[in-house]
């Protein structure tokens, strides 16, 4: 259910849309894809699903276990779904993902026991597995030529910005409607997911040379070979998967933490919506920022902001805690397109969706144990200590990552590996 896991939408009327339209190959109309992106990631339940489950009688530990079931799906399906997209078509992978969203949200709303909640969360995780690499690969391969420099950073940043605006608006609306009835946001989520299913099924994919395509098993093997053979790429994927894990712990548990501090659900929705709007601002400016400072600088800044925001959320006065969350989301929004640019530059079209799925796979490996452990720790020892441990782990990993990448500078470039 993580907002940062969603592949970002793009508004049909935005300047980002216009810039990508001018870059598409002749005859390829991406407007349906943009509409799918917008509708598919509407997040009516993003700000209230934990609160809803608590109201249904689930403990934080049980909710953490359910979140683990969510991440068990990418753990088991991420690489197969990536190769499914590369071999059988990105649009069919996106169609399956949207349909699974509708089914899983309906099951979550009906869940009255852990045994029904666990499969609901697993199916929701499966929906992300089928969409995660396919959407970005579809967009990247729809351009005239593979973007270099910071061109893709600029495009994806603006797409992400429009996406976060949509997520913020629907999250706030869903939280407001939840005060009247939880059925309203859940019903809207199911309806728009079904609409996205129809849009995805009607997409036309960019042409790819038939000679590039391997079977699903061969695509997975080749993608793993590419990542294993490029230590700089492997290090970047592992580090960012860890960073997004800490970001998820901050963003998702903010619902429960703010509720404990007496904040009403509608205000929680507004706070999280405001944080996503700042994420949108950061994403919109990502292309410009990437040219102002080195990638190393943005690694340090994003890590410090995200890890520090958890400490502020748990131990600072409410106004400062909210400000820290907003600043962290701004840096996360700026950093995400920079990472995507570097990873996409390092891989080829034939295995693109599969390689992109590896980061999601590693993220799920971490979340499947970190999320319930963090919830249990917060209930036993308090939020501040739990976030302090997470910040300490992230600081240690940052130091290791910077040391390894400094040694790799000049020896290994993030360049495409041969297929």
Q: How many domains does the chain have?
A: 1
Instruction: Identify whether the C-beta of residue 281 lies closer than 8 Å to the C-beta of residue 337.
Output: no
Tokens of 222: 């080749």
Does residue 249 lie within any of the structural domains? yes
pLDDT of residue 69: 86
Does residue 413 lie within any of the structural domains? no
Tokens of 119: 């499969």
pLDDT of residue 7: 33
Instruction: Identify whether the C-beta of residue 214 lies closer than 8 Å to the C-beta of residue 339.
Output: no
Owning domain of residue 141: 3-203+212-408
pLDDT of residue 320: 93
Most confident of 69-78, 99-108, 223-232: 99-108
Does residue 190 lie within any of the structural domains? yes
CA-CA-CA-CA dihedral for 318, 306, 48, 275, to nearest 10: 70
103, pLDDT greater than 80: yes
Instruction: Look up the CATH number of the domain holding residue 262.
Output: 1.20.1250.20
pLDDT of residue 214: 58
323, pLDDT greater than 70: yes
Q: Which range has the worst mean pLDDT, 66-70, 144-148, 162-166?
A: 144-148
The residue with greater pLDDT, 63 or 149, is 63
Instruction: Identify whether the C-beta of residue 244 lies closer than 8 Å to the C-beta of residue 331.
Output: no
Tokens of 110: 């009906």
CA-CA-CA-CA dihedral for 356, 357, 361, 364, to nearest 10: 90
Model pTM score: 0.68
326, pLDDT greater than 60: yes
Q: How many Å apart are CA 127 and CA 105, to the nearest integer? A: 11
pLDDT band at 407 (very low <50, low <70, confident <90, very high): low
pLDDT band at 414 (very low <50, low <70, confident <90, very high): low
Q: How many Å apart are CA 192 and CA 188, to the nearest integer? A: 6
Does residue 187 lie within any of the structural domains? yes
pLDDT of residue 213: 55
Does residue 416 lie within any of the structural domains? no
Does residue 118 lie within any of the structural domains? yes
194, pLDDT greater than 70: yes
pLDDT of residue 271: 85
28, pLDDT greater than 70: no
Interval 348-386: pLDDT, tens:
666 666 666 777 778 878 877 888 888 888 888 989 999
Does residue 418 lie within any of the structural domains? no
């Amino acid at each position: 259910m993580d907002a940062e896991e969603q592949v970002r939408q793009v508004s049909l009327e935005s300047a980002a849309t216009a810039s990508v339209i001018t870059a598409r190959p002749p005859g390829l109309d991406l407007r349906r894809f943009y509409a799918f992106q917008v509708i598919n990631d509407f997040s009516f339940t993003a700000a209230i699903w934990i609160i809803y489950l608590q109201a249904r009688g689930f403990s934080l530990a049980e909710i953490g276990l359910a979140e683990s079931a969510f991440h068990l799906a990418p753990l088991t399906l991420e690489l197969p779904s990536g190769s499914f997209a590369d071999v059988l078509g990105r649009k069919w992978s996106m169609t399956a993902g949207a349909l699974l969203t509708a089914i899983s949200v309906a099951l979550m709303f009906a869940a009255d026991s852990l045994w029904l909640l666990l499969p609901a969360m697993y199916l929701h995780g499966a929906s992300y597995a089928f969409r995660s690499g396919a959407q970005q690969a579809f967009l990247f391969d729809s351009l005239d030529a593979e973007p270099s420099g910071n061109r893709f950073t600029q495009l994806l940043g603006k797409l992400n910005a429009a996406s976060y605006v949509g997520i913020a608006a629907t999250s706030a609306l869903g939280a407001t409607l939840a005060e009247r009835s939880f059925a309203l946001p859940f019903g809207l989520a199911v309806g728009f997911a079904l609409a996205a299913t129809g849009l995805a099924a009607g997409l036309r994919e960019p042409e790819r040379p038939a000679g590039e395509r391997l079977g699903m098993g061969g695509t997975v093997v080749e993608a793993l070979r590419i990542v294993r053979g490029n230590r700089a790429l492997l290090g970047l994927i592992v580090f960012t998967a860890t960073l997004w894990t800490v970001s998820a712990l901050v963003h998702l548990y903010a619902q429960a933490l703010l509720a404990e501090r007496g904040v009403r659900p509608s205000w929680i929705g507004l706070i999280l919506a405001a944080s996503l709007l700042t994420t949108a601002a950061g994403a919109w400016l990502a292309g410009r920022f990437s040219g102002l400072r080195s990638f190393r600088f943005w690694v340090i800044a994003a890590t410090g902001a995200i890890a520090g925001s958890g400490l502020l959320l748990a131990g600072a006065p409410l106004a400062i805690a909210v400000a820290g969350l907003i600043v962290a989301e701004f840096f996360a929004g700026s950093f995400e397109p920079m990472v995507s640019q570097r990873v996409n530059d390092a891989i080829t079209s034939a295995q693109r969706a599969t390689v992109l799925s590896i980061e999601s796979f590693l993220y799920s490996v971490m979340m499947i144990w970190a999320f319930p452990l963090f919830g249990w720790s917060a209930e036993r020892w308090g939020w501040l200590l739990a976030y302090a441990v997470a910040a300490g782990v992230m600081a240690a990993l940052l130091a290791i990552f910077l040391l390894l990448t400094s040694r790799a500078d000049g020896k290994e470039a993030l360049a495409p590996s041969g297929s």
